[in-house]
Structure 1
Amino acid sequence: MSDATQMSTASFIPLKLSGQPLVLKITAIMLGTVFLAASSWIEVPMVPVPMTMQTFAVTLVGALYGWRLGAITVLAWLAQGMMGFPVLAGGAGGLAHFAGPTAGYLAGFVVAAAMVGFLAERGWTAGVVRGSLTMLLGNILILAVGWVWLAAMIGAESALIHGVTPFLLGGLLKSLLASLTVLAAGRASLFLR
């Protein structure tokens, strides 16, 4: 079996954290929350939901960490936000963000990180096309959960117009960027072995 075939049929988690010591996993979670916070500060203000690099970071964490550690990292980051740390969009924090217009997207982040990680563990991020589609699925899942929550607040059509449509092109671009980043991380990890 060639390396390319083996890579596409097997797990493709470049960081391979699942078998590592607990202290390394905790360090990865802490670094992941810093990365997620930094992605939140890259913001294009929009109403009712701002555009950030969060979806890029969430899907990337899922792909690099795997489903369990990816979801735990996103949950840890959201817990920091709940405690008031300035880790959410635009450096915000506090419980209000978990009941307002962005709450559905925040919940979708956990599910998307887990789903992308799950697919990565099955080889779905090993190539640019499948990797981009996997990341795009994560973005769509975030938008879907966010839309459901926002629709309950402002109506289905308005939520689609203001909470989904403006994010589609960015989601496509961030999906491609995340896929390329995972592939680069995979190549870099080959050099470190």
Structure 2
Amino acid sequence: MNRADALSLKPFSPLDLRSRPLVWQVAAVFAGTLLLALSSYISVPMLPVPITMQTFAVALVGAVYGWRLGAITIVAWLMQGAAGLPVLAGGAAGAHHFVGPTAGYLFAFPMVGALVGWLAERGWNGHRVGLAFANMLIGNALCLFLGAAWLAIFTGAEQAFMLGVFPFLVGAVLKSALGAATLRLMARGKAAAG
């Protein structure tokens, strides 16, 4: 087995959160919710679904934190939004967003983070940039599929695709490439430090 194959089989944990004390993990959840909130403010207003950097941040949190802590972090961020903190797209807040047209995307986020984290733990990470890109793209696709499925209740299937999937396809590819590049840099940094 060559070095690249051996590295790809190692668990991807650039922050080593699993081995850290609980206080570190709580701090990581807090930092992750801040990253997710900040990504929500990078937004291009569109109706009914705005373009944001949320899917990038959701996938990155899942990949870096692992599937469990990633999903916990994303749920904590969504709970902040439901409780009224301005952490959702464009500073939106309130529980009503969890029953409106964009609710499918919101409910998809923890699943996306968990899936991306699970795949990252199994070698689809920064040690293999092609697999990291595929991992991020799968996460984006899952988000678009679940979000559009919910949106279809409000608009019908064809409109849901035209409003909730089609405008986001190029962005999904670009965000996936950025996510894979970020994971690659983290893997290289971890290898250089360790």
Residue in 1 that maps onto 2:91: 91
| 2:174 alignment partner in structure 1 | 173
Cα displacement (A) at 1:15: 1.8
| Matches of 2:3 and 2:76, distance apart in 1 | 36
Scaled by the length of structure 1, the TM-score of the pair is: 0.97
> Following TM superposition, where does structure 1 have runs of at least 4 consecutive aligned residues deviating by more than 4 angstroms?
none
Q: Which runs of 5+ in 1 are unaligned?
A: none
CA distance in 2, matches of 1:56, 1:130: 16
CA distance in 2, matches of 1:192, 1:101: 45
Cα deviation, 1:70-120, whole Å, max 9, x if unaligned, reads 000000000000011010000111011111111000011010000000001
Query: TM-score with structure 2 length normalisation?
Result: 0.96
Q: Please name the residue that 1:21 is paired with.
A: 21
Mark the runs of 5 or more structure 2 residues left unpaired by the alignment.
Answer: none
Aligned sequence identity (%): 54
Shift of 1:7: 1.4
Aligned equivalent of 1:109: 109
Give the letter aligned to residue 162 of structure 1. L
**Could you say which residue in structure 2 is the equivalent of 1:161?**
162
Q: CA RMSD in A?
A: 1.0
Looking at structure 1, the residues matched to 155 and 57 of structure 2 have their Cα atoms a distance apart, in angstroms, of 27
CA distance, structure 2, for counterparts of residue 17 and residue 183 of structure 1 = 18
- Most deviating of 8-17 and 64-73: 8-17
Alignment of 1:124-139 (within 5 A): 124-125=124-125, 126-139=127-140
Moved more, 121-130 or 37-46: 121-130
Does the 8 Å contact 1:64/1:117 carry over to 2?
yes
Aligned residues: 193
For 1:191 and 1:77, the matched residues in 2 are separated by 32
Aligned residue identity for 2:54: Q
Partner of 1:67 in structure 2? Answer: 67
